[in-house]
Amino acid sequence: MGTGIWGYGHRSGYAPGTDLVGYKVDAADGPIGKVDRHTDDVARSYLVVDTGPWIFGRKVVIPAGFVARVDAEARAVHLTCTRGQVKDSPDYEQNGRHEDEPGFVRQIETYYSDPHM
C-alpha cells in the first residue's frame, strides 16, 4: 500500500467533513474501540482509536486506507485489518510521540505497508 495508505478508499462511504469522533470501530474480526479523533487531510488521513480496556486503554493510529466502510447510521467504522494487527501496531502517545512527528509517521507507514498486513 505504501503511502497510499493515508487516503480513504472510494468504496469506504466516508464523506469528507463527517465527524467520526465517538464512532465504534470494528476490525475485520471484532470490535477494537472508538474513534478518539480523526483527520481527513488530503495527504494524510487517519483515525486515532481509543481501544479502551481491550488493550489497556491504548490509543492507536489507523491510516484511512484501512477503513473498509463507514456506517453513519450505526455510527460505526469497519476496518480491513484484524484485531491482532491493530494490537501489534506501533505505540502511540508513548514517550512524547505524536501523530505529526515525522519519525512516527514513517514507523506507521512501515508497519502498515508490510506484507503481513
76: its cell numbers: 460505526
**Distance, CA of 117 to CA of 12 (rounded, Å):** 18
pLDDT at 57: 74
**Element at 102 (helix H, strand E):** helix 102-113
pTM of the model: 0.87
Q: Does 2-86+96-108 carry CATH code 2.30.30.240?
A: yes
Q: Where are the domains of the chain?
A: 2-86+96-108
Nearest-angstrom CA–CA distance, 74 and 43: 28
70-95 pLDDT tens trace: 999 999 999 999 999 999 998 776 55
- Report phi then psi at 27, rounded to 5: -75, 180
Res 103: pLDDT = 85
